[in-house]
């Protein structure tokens, strides 16, 4: 990692500034004309996805001469985020950093630490047609007035996987998965009665699936101010009849042996390929692993919903990450050449060819309709039934609302952990669901107020 001691010591910075201005000269990038501009790119994708991402970058490096992108894996998403922030304070931030979707509000509040993508494109005169992007994908990373803040990249949504062998054993139609929670409950009872040796139902990413997606599908707000898109003053609204009903169902199903809590984050993923759960709600990104590991027939379908909620279902929200453009440090801004290089790279990865390859290799969503059409025309979805489900689900209902655009809450990483903790206590029988939701709301709102204060300036 290149060190620039010149930008050290925030506390003593003023003194250094006064004493030794010469020290602060940033190493100039514009060397000989022929040398490519080097751009540092930090990502948080473990193997094998990280390797596929780096291969994509390598292909781009080979395709042109002006820019060389240096990818480097920096640990999990939260670790990558912390590393990038620390590097910014030290004046050595990477040019591009991959940031998970729940960190969006933090990055958006970062002020002059980031260069918004719309500004980058404007200043470099580069054109990327965001109107062709899937609305749920681009919308998550836009400001309230529709300007693109970061470059959407690896996106997934959550879907339902089911074990067809277990369905057969239980006398259920293996090609007809439950579409509503009423049907799901009936299927669970049949599966339990059939003694498949597996738990009928589990959910991965506990809060994403059971709170965030349930809110979006039924067009119910998760927080005020358009889920936080309209301002920092948002307050949680998860303590509502629908969420309470859903979580009480989970607790009840658990006590009847129909549902099993599979642990935090994506710990429950493993239960499906291992044959230990019959129906699993998980990220669409689980597909690649199921393909590789499952030794039984399985299917991929849309998330169930409560059909007595008027208007439901509409589109689900996405998960995943986007690329943010960072300034080098508090007093270390990007050169024209660097910005042009970044913009060109972004344009390249949004092309249908690159997107189609990424989508079919990894199982992440294609970013654009053009890429989706290209993959569809290639017959990929006939060969891989179910692979188009996430895209169809993102377009379901045909009307993205303030409640299904995404979530823009400061400190959402922490809020997710809080919701998870309170949910865990409810599932362990330590508190009723109503109490869990009230606690999560109080604690979550405190995080929101702290974030608001930190970023008011």
Per CB under 8 A, 437 contacts other proteins: no
Q: Which of 132, 235, 239, 421 binds other proteins (CB under 8 A)?
A: 421
Contact region for other proteins (CB under 8 A) — 33-41, 70-78, 307-315, 335-343?
Answer: 70-78
Using CB atoms within 10 Å of the CB of residue 336, give its burial: 0 to 12 exposed, 13 to 18 middle, 19+ buried.
exposed
Per CB under 8 A, 17 contacts other proteins: no
Which one-letter DSSP state was computed for residue 212? Answer: I
Contact region for other proteins (CB under 8 A) — 83-91, 193-201, 232-240, 357-365?
Answer: 83-91
Of residues 128 and 413, the one with the C-beta less far from other proteins: 413
Q: Which of 29, 110, 225, 294 binds other proteins (CB under 8 A)?
A: 110
Cα-based torsion angle of the residue sequence 325, 345, 52, 377 in order, rounded to the nearest 10 degrees = 120
Of residues 58 and 353, the one with the C-beta less far from other proteins: 58
Q: How many other C-beta atoms lie within 10 A of the C-beta of residue 184?
A: 23
71 touches 39 (CB < 8 A): no
Q: Which of 53, 96, 97, 109 binds other proteins (CB under 8 A)?
A: 109
Which one-letter DSSP state was computed for residue 387? Answer: T
Q: Which of 41, 43, 54, 88 binds other proteins (CB under 8 A)?
A: 88
Per CB under 8 A, 457 contacts other proteins: yes
Q: Please give the Cα distance from 249 to 184 (Å, whole number).
A: 11
Of residues 295 and 383, the one with the C-beta less far from other proteins: 295
Tokens of 366: 């294609």
Residues in 352-391 that interact with other proteins by CB under 8 A: none
Per CB under 8 A, 343 contacts other proteins: no
Of residues 90 and 407, the one with the C-beta less far from other proteins: 90
Distances (CA, A) of 296 to 168, 193, 230, 384, 394: 11, 20, 46, 15, 27
136 touches 315 (CB < 8 A): yes
Of residues 51 and 311, the one with the C-beta less far from other proteins: 51
CA 369 to chain centre: 19
- The secondary element (H helix, E strand) that includes residue 105 is helix 104-108
Q: Please state the length of the chain.
A: 457
Per CB under 8 A, 232 contacts other proteins: no
Q: Which of 165, 185, 212, 414 binds other proteins (CB under 8 A)?
A: 414
Q: How many other C-beta atoms lie within 10 A of the C-beta of residue 68?
A: 15
Which residues, in sequence order, are CB contacts of 88 under 8 Å at separation 6+?
A: 113, 326, 327, 328, 329, 330
Residues in 284-303 that interact with other proteins by CB under 8 A: 289, 293
Which residues, in sequence order, are CB contacts of 431 under 8 Å at separation 6+?
A: 422, 425, 439
Per CB under 8 A, 38 contacts other proteins: no
Of residues 290 and 365, the one with the C-beta less far from other proteins: 290
Beta carbon of residue 367, minimum distance to other proteins (angstroms, whole number): 25
Per CB under 8 A, 72 contacts other proteins: yes
Beta carbon of residue 81, minimum distance to other proteins (angstroms, whole number): 8
Which residues, in sequence order, are CB contacts of 274 under 8 Å at separation 6+?
A: 293
Per CB under 8 A, 22 contacts other proteins: no
Helices (H), 264-388: 287-293, 336-349, 352-362, 369-377, 380-383
Q: Which of 40, 74, 246, 287 binds other proteins (CB under 8 A)?
A: 74
Per CB under 8 A, 102 contacts other proteins: no
Per CB under 8 A, 89 contacts other proteins: yes
| Side-chain half-sphere exposure of 70, counting CA atoms within 13 A | 9
Site string for other proteins, 242-271 (x = CB under 8 A): -------------------x-xxxxx-xx-
3-state secondary structure of 163: strand
Comparing CA positions, the residue from 324, 202, 293 lying closest to residue 253 is 202
Beta carbon of residue 36, minimum distance to other proteins (angstroms, whole number): 22
Q: Which of 53, 57, 67, 90 binds other proteins (CB under 8 A)?
A: 90
Tokens of 379: 């017959």
Distances (CA, A) of 368 to 116, 301, 430: 20, 21, 46
Beta carbon of residue 333, minimum distance to other proteins (angstroms, whole number): 14
Number of residues engaging other proteins in binding (CB under 8 A): 66
Give me the residues that bind other proteins (CB under 8 A), please: 1, 3-5, 7-11, 46-47, 72-75, 78-80, 82-83, 85-92, 106, 109-113, 261, 263-267, 269-270, 273-274, 289, 293, 330, 411, 413-414, 417, 420-421, 424-425, 427-428, 430, 443, 447, 450, 453-457
């Amino acid at each position: 990692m290149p060190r620039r001691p010149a930008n050290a010591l925030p506390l003593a910075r003023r003194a250094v500034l006064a004493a030794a201005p010469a020290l602060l000269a940033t190493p100039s990038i514009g060397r000989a004309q022929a040398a490519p501009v080097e751009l540092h790119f930090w990502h948080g994708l473990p193997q094998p996805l990280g390797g596929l991402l780096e291969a994509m970058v390598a292909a781009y490096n080979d395709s042109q001469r002006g820019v060389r992108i240096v990818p480097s894996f920096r640990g999990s998403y939260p670790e990558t985020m912390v590393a990038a922030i620390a590097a910014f304070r030290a004046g050595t931030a990477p040019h591009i950093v991959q940031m998970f979707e729940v960190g969006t509000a933090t990055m958006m509040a970062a002020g002059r630490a980031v260069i918004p993508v719309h500004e980058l494109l404007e200043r470099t005169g580069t054109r990327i047609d965001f109107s062709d992007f899937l609305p749920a994908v681009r919308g998550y990373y836009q400001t309230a007035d529709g300007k693109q803040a970061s470059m959407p990249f690896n996106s997934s949504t959550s879907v339902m996987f089911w074990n067809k062998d277990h369905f057969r054993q239980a006398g259920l139609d293996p090609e007809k998965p439950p579409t509503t929670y009423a049907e799901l409950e009936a299927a669970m009872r049949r599966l339990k009665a059939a003694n498949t040796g597996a738990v009928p139902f589990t959910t991965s990413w506990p809060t994403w699936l059971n709170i965030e997606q349930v809110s979006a599908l039924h067009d119910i707000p998760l927080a005020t101010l358009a889920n936080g898109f309209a301002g920092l003053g948002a307050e949680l609204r998860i303590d509502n009849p629908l969420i309470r009903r859903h979580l009480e169902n989970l607790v009840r199903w658990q006590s009847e042996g129909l549902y099993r809590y599979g642990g935090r984050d994506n710990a429950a993923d493993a239960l499906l390929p291992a044959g230990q759960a019959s129906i699993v709600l998980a990220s669409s990104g689980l597909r690649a692993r199921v393909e590789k590991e499952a030794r039984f027939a399985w299917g991929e379908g849309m998330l169930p919903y409560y059909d007595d909620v008027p208007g439901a279902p509409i589109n689900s929200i996405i998960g995943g990450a986007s690329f943010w453009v960072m300034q080098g440090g508090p007093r270390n801004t990007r050169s024209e050449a660097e910005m042009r290089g970044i913009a060109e790279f972004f344009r390249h990865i949004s092309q249908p060819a690159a997107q189609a390859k990424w989508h079919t290799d990894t199982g992440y969503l294609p970013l654009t309709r053009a890429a989706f059409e290209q993959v569809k025309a290639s017959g990929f979805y006939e060969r891989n039934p179910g692979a188009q489900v996430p895209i169809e689900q993102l377009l379901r209902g045909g009307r993205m609302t303030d409640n299904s655009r995404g979530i823009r809450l400061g400190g959402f990483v922490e809020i997710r952990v809080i919701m998870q903790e309170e949910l865990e206590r409810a599932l362990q029988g330590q508190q009723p669901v109503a109490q869990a939701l009230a606690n999560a709301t109080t604690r979550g709102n405190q995080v929101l107020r702290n974030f608001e204060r930190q970023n008011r300036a």
